[in-house]
Amino acid sequence: MSKQTTVERASNGARIGLLLAGLVLVLLGLFFAIGGGMLIARGGSWYYLPAGLALFVAGIQLARRRSSAYVIYTIFLLATALWSFWEAGFEFWPLTARLFMFTVIGLVMTPLFPLLRGGEGKTPAKAAAWGFGLVLLACNVAFVWGMFIPHGQFGTESVPPVASNNANNAGSSDWTAYGHSAGGDRFAGATQINRDNVKNLQVAWTFRTGDVPLSPDGGGSEDQLTPLQVGRTLFLCTPHNTVIAVDATSGAEKWRHEFPTKTTVWVRCRGLAYFDSAKPLVQPTAAGSTPVAAADAPADPAICRRRIFMNTIDAKLVALDADTGKLCADFGKDGVIDLKDGLGKATSPLYQMTSAPTVAGTTVVVGGRVADNVSLDMPGGVVRGFDVISGRMKWAFDPGNPADRNAPAEGKTFTRSTPNVWAPMSYDPTSNIVFMPVGNAAIDLWGVKRTALDESYGASILALDATTGAEKWHFQTVHHDLWDYDVPMQPTLVDFPVGDKRVPALIVGTKMGQLFVLDRLTGKPLTDVIEHRVKPATIPNEPYAKTQPLSVGMPQIGADVLKESDMWGMTAMDQLMCRVVFRGMRYDGLFTAPDTDRSLSFPGSLGGMNWGGLSYDPNSGMVFSNDMRLGLWVHLVKEAQRGGSSDGNEAVNAGMGAVPLGGTPYSVTKDRFFSPIGIPCQKPPFGSLTAIDLKTRSIAWQVPLGTVRDSRLHGVKMSLPTPVGMPTIGGSLATGGGLVFFAATQDYYLRAFDSSTGKEVWKARLPVGSQGTPISYVIDGKQYIVISAGGARQSPDRGDYVIAFALPDGK
């Protein structure tokens, strides 16, 4: 083979390569030009159309082997950089979406410029080309490096104060209620594990429950447990309602009691409740409080002195002997109360228990989950209080008949389809008040048939006397809710600084990213709440609210009003598609009412903040909140038949299909506001951990929570530790050692953050993901951190693990 033939073949190969490269640029140019034209037609940015034309021309010139291709591309790239900084500022992830793809293409094209000039008989200009190439290389290295570090607002480091005893963590270090204290602080005051030595944490023991939750769509069985710890015993409940007691120092099983159920939809147990009849009653001290009444006499004081209460998924309240696991025969009927009594038709999963009971003095208080958007005729949202010993119903609060606190007469039922209390409650022993997060009437998205009482109690905080069930006050967070913005979490009791005083208060987060701070005795806001005017939609006879409450006196978490410039993608291509889709939907901000067109709800009904709740460090005066940022588009569809066949699986309510709204003229389709490749359309983070300073009422720090390492994109695990911040579902744990622990991300880690700065200071790999909340306790001078790990939301990797971490001896 002659040398000339080899050169000719190489030359032919170069021509073909340049032709193909030019074709790629031409196709990119057409994509951006056509998409840019669609965007302009919808009132969007004018950048993409000329950018697409520039790419198209550069591609033509490259296919023709002209050096002007590189010049045109360089001008395009510089203009894109200027536009990117003008539109997105210096935020890393928005800049990456706009520039990274183009800087990579520019770097690949750099070696071609001298060759093309040489082919044209011109000076190669290698110095200029390689100089610009080095700039592009540095930019790309910076982009890649930045993809693996967290981008957020970090705080200033301070020395953690010594843990103190107060109303929120007084006395025992035991974790005796769902939120640690009855007030839901999720704070462990122990300081043995701290910022300096947390790096030495290691697994102390692992327990396998034997109950592996399966949930292909998120609406099946899920492990969302927060354990209880009393003395040397840890109490667990599994998704299918097996209660297990294990040694809190070794993980050795002591006993278990199974409650079999045939329910397959929305199966979970988030927690338990505990009562010790030998402990003296704590009487309230606040003026005007009702005394805590003595409990009914036990049948045998030696049996069931210490009791564990659980709501089963098929709506039974059970009492177990904490020492043996046997049912307490003197409670209800042989240890069981059927919570469906008085409700009428209330089959599972239309009526279920998903949150822990609340022990309030000598009353065990339960609400219930009424499945959303199934039918206008559903069980009522009655809340009931039962004697902790006998199970005798002491009172019932029926939101449809609040004056009557008795059980319904024979043949009657509690009012049907009323707002319900599905999330955990809090109890204040100083006032003997139970604080309840209230949901909505049976159909969220169509409110024509709601009653005046439905409108009053829906999406509110309700305060009831724990002894009598009498209403103290209620405060509404959403008027005429059409978004499934029910109050989703346990209110957290805090001592709130107001001037030089500290006022007994509660703080609660909402799905709308709002934080409301209310006086515990009056329900009045302690920070500014305004009534924000909102736009109605056009559904006939819908009594739209003209205004909605906004808690402007506290930070609003992840509730920014989206703009086109907030649209994001892994590349500039899917970012453009998200812009086009965004401009094609009706969006009026936070309270965009659903209609028969396609509207955007952000945050969607998943949150914002959800049932994981807040944690509160009383020493630093900080509250810690995790959130998710997932938008949903919503489309009401007119139906000829007013019927429905939904099975109560709320996975379809979370963005995966059409739901018939039984008894209404509509069905609804929701879907996640995702790009064509399956990631959220708005810029990261998609989930964050935020510290709020109660004294300044401002964000102290906010960091992305979780990486994409264990997330799957079209079935393929991404395996990259990129900390964009992922949707979260469980809760956090604050400790006296200056740490915040969290596990309920989409990746498989338990993490510890410095509570002053938000910096991640430790993480441990879990066998599978978690949706649980960590707890901490001290036994024999050793502090433990415990987490339940049964699988992350939307993950096929599942398990049955409960894992305890501790410092090695001598550390």
Q: Is residue 141 part of a domain?
A: yes
Average pLDDT (421-446) is 96
Domain residues for 58? 3-146
Average pLDDT (358-376) is 94
Q: Residue 5: what pLDDT?
A: 55
Q: Residue 121: what pLDDT?
A: 87
Q: Give the C-alpha distances (Å, rounded to integers) separating 213 from 239, 266, 268, 792.
A: 7, 11, 9, 11
Of 585, 794, 574, the closest CA to residue 675 belongs to 574
Q: Is residue 727 part of a domain?
A: no
For 560-570, what is each residue's pLDDT tens digit? 999 999 999 99
Q: Residue 265: what pLDDT?
A: 87
Q: Residue 487: what pLDDT?
A: 97
If you search the block for the tokens 């703009």, which residue do you land on? Answer: 563
Judged against a pLDDT cut of 90, whether residue 350 lies above it is answered with no
Helix (H, G, I), strand (E, B) or coil at 552: coil
Query: How many separate domains does the chain show?
Result: 1
Lowest mean pLDDT among 148-157, 180-189, 204-213, 237-246: 148-157
Judged against a pLDDT cut of 80, whether residue 508 lies above it is answered with yes
Q: Is residue 27 part of a domain?
A: yes
Q: Residue 261: what pLDDT?
A: 86
Q: Residue 168: what pLDDT?
A: 41
CA atoms within 13 Å, Cβ hemisphere of 414: 31
- Percent with pLDDT over 70 in the chain: 95
Judged against a pLDDT cut of 60, whether residue 119 lies above it is answered with yes
533/544 Cα distance (integer angstroms): 11
For 635-674, what is each residue's pLDDT tens digit? 999 987 665 556 666 665 555 457 788 899 998 888 889 9
Helix (H, G, I), strand (E, B) or coil at 344: coil
Judged against a pLDDT cut of 50, whether residue 285 lies above it is answered with yes
Q: Residue 291: what pLDDT?
A: 97
Q: How confident is the model at residue 166 (pLDDT cuts 50, 70, 90)?
A: very low
**Any idea which residues carry the catalytic annotation?**
484
If you search the block for the tokens 């994409």, which residue do you land on? Answer: 708
Q: Is residue 24 part of a domain?
A: yes
Q: Residue 586: what pLDDT?
A: 97
Helix (H, G, I), strand (E, B) or coil at 242: strand
Q: Letter for the amino acid at 172?
A: S
Q: How confident is the model at residue 93 (pLDDT cuts 50, 70, 90)?
A: very high
CB neighbour class for 243 (10 Å; exposed up to 12, middle 13-18, buried from 19) = buried
Q: Residue 276: what pLDDT?
A: 97
Buried b (16+ CB within 10 A) or exposed e, 19-28: eebbeebbeb
Judged against a pLDDT cut of 60, whether residue 239 lies above it is answered with yes
Average pLDDT (42-53) is 97
Number of alpha helices (DSSP H) and beta strands (DSSP E) in the chain: 8, 42
For 741-777, what is each residue's pLDDT tens digit? 999 999 999 999 999 999 999 999 999 999 999 999 9
Q: Is residue 81 part of a domain?
A: yes
Judged against a pLDDT cut of 80, whether residue 404 lies above it is answered with yes
Average pLDDT (245-250) is 98
Q: How confident is the model at residue 171 (pLDDT cuts 50, 70, 90)?
A: very low
244/481 Cα distance (integer angstroms): 39
Query: Which element (helix H / strand E) includes 103?
Result: helix 92-109
**Mean pLDDT over the full length of the chain:** 93
Q: Residue 169: what pLDDT?
A: 41
Q: Residue 652: what pLDDT?
A: 52
Q: How do strand 760-765 and strand 306-311 relate by DSSP bridges?
A: unpaired
Q: Residue 769: what pLDDT?
A: 96
Query: Cβ(505)–Cβ(526) under 8 Å?
Result: yes
Q: φ, ψ for residue 17 (rounded to 5)?
A: -60, -45
What is the 8-class DSSP label of residue 409? Answer: P
Q: Residue 170: what pLDDT?
A: 39
What is the 8-class DSSP label of residue 11? Answer: H
Q: φ, ψ for residue 324 (rounded to 5)?
A: -125, -20
**Looking at the chain, how many residues does it have?**
811
Q: Which residues contact 64 (CB under 8 A, 6 or more apart)?
A: 22
Lowest mean pLDDT among 94-98, 532-536, 651-655: 651-655
Q: φ, ψ for residue 137 (rounded to 5)?
A: -60, -45
| Cis, bond preceding 655 (omega within 30 deg of 0) | no
Judged against a pLDDT cut of 50, whether residue 796 lies above it is answered with yes
714/214 Cα distance (integer angstroms): 19
Query: Cβ(383)–Cβ(397) under 8 Å?
Result: yes
Q: How confident is the model at residue 7 (pLDDT cuts 50, 70, 90)?
A: very low
Average pLDDT (590-606) is 94
If you search the block for the tokens 């120092």, which residue do you land on? Answer: 249
Lowest mean pLDDT among 90-99, 235-244, 397-406, 675-684: 675-684
Lowest mean pLDDT among 88-92, 561-565, 606-610: 606-610
DSSP E strands in 272-425: the ranges are: 273-276, 306-311, 316-321, 336-338, 351-352, 358-360, 363-366, 369-370, 383-387, 393-397
Average pLDDT (14-40) is 94
Q: Which residues contact 113 (CB under 8 A, 6 or more apart)?
A: 67, 70, 125, 129
Average pLDDT (217-233) is 92
Average pLDDT (375-392) is 96
Q: Give the C-alpha distances (Å, rounded to integers) separating 792 from 179, 185, 745.
A: 21, 24, 7
Q: Is residue 808 part of a domain?
A: no
